[in-house]
Structure 1
Amino acid sequence: MSSQRVIVVMGVAGTGKTTVGRLLAEALALPYAEGDAFHPAANVAKMSAGTPLDDADRWPWLDAIGDWIRGRAGLGGGVVAASALKRSYRDRLRTAAPEAVFVHLTGARALVGQRMAARTGHFMPAVLLDSQFATLEPLQEDELGVVVDVSGSPDDITERALAALRRLPTPQN
């Protein structure tokens, strides 16, 4: 896999995007960015209150992530964690970096719910998980990416992601 690509680790809340994203970045010797850090304060407040974001809330967030990935695409690649739940959100990110690769972390609702309930110090309450699953549009065949099951340890998940990424075609520069 080319280090020129930006990898977007996507999926619903609680799938381990941050943990796996950091591990992928470390394994690939790429910089990592936390997608949650790109949210404006109003988005964080809305989610903290248990209110799902709508598209109008997400566009500025996606554009900020897009600015980061556009810059990283020209500087050797990078890894960013971002839910990117809808095709339209991923399309928006691809306008910033057409060769971006999506790693869709996926798992059973029960497992993801358990993991989400067990985490501490995050603004996203477990009550929003159902809205995340309802919004999710899985990767489509024409989208460059891989689907990785989140069962097992973070290291297991990361190894599966790395193996899947290695099987992708290399970008044409």
Structure 2
Amino acid sequence: MFVAERDNACALVVMGVSGSGKSTIAERLAIRIGWRFEDGDSFHPPSNVAKMHSGQPLTDEDRWPWLKAIAGEIDRTCAAGERAVIACSALKRSYRDILVHGRADVRLVFLDGTQELIATRLAMRKGHFMPPGLLTSQFGTLEPPAAEERPINVAIDRSVEAIVEDIVSQLKLDRP
């Protein structure tokens, strides 16, 4: 009898451009699978938030401390035998390399949508520090995850519930 290989994931990084639904999807996914939710935005230093709020894109130099802080949280979570779903843009391969740093127990969930769909969503948002005008910059920076990164790719042109169920169906997790 064939038994499917199980994911030994201790962390899922829900990634995509601003407006793709990272925080919403990651939080609902965490509830659905019984894991802790962390919003990667909470790891940004105040200088990054101020820069984004003023409409300036972050540089890689701005991002390194932020990504290392999230990677540290992933390491702490996994070392403690806990599990977390973390919302983080992780737009470039080099950023994901910092977050995952070769760990087989960290999986990426890529929220994939068109710039037009996401622009419409951003236009309806209130009170978020990422202005819609930075979306072009985000898409310019985005390097979709490659197959060897073992991503779970999901289209975001559906309801939150359908997206979460799609992710769960692609995961091979032992249920808590």
Describe how 1:85-164 pairs up with structure 2 within 5 A: 85-95=91-101, 97-164=103-170
Contact 1:66 1:93 in 2 (8 A): yes
> Which deviations, in whole Å up to 9, do the C-alpha atoms of 1:59-111 show, x marking residues without a partner?
00000101111111222321000000000000011128442100000111111
Letter in 2 for 1:21: A
Distance, in Å, in 1 between the alignment partners of 2:44 and 2:165 is 29
- Give secondary structure in 2 for the equivalent of 1:104: strand
Describe how 1:4-153 pairs up with structure 2 within 5 A: 4-74=9-79, 75-95=81-101, 97-153=103-159
Find runs of 4+ consecutive structure 1 residues off by over 3 angstroms: 1-4
- Give secondary structure in 2 for the equivalent of 1:105: strand
Contact 1:4 1:76 in 2 (8 A): no
Whose Rg is larger? Answer: 2
- Give secondary structure in 2 for the equivalent of 1:93: helix
Q: Gaps (5+ residues) in structure 2?
A: 1-5
RMSD over aligned CA atoms reads 1.6
Q: How many residues end up aligned between the 2 structures?
A: 168
Q: Gaps (5+ residues) in structure 1?
A: none
Distance, in Å, in 1 between the alignment partners of 2:125 and 2:159 is 15
Q: Using structure 2 for the length normalisation, give the TM-score.
A: 0.90
Identity percentage of aligned residues: 44
Letter in 1 for 2:127: G
Q: Which moved more, 1:74-83 or 1:5-14?
A: 74-83
> Which deviations, in whole Å up to 9, do the C-alpha atoms of 1:9-35 show, x marking residues without a partner?
000000000000001100110001000
Letter in 1 for 2:149: E
Q: Using structure 1 for the length normalisation, give the TM-score.
A: 0.92
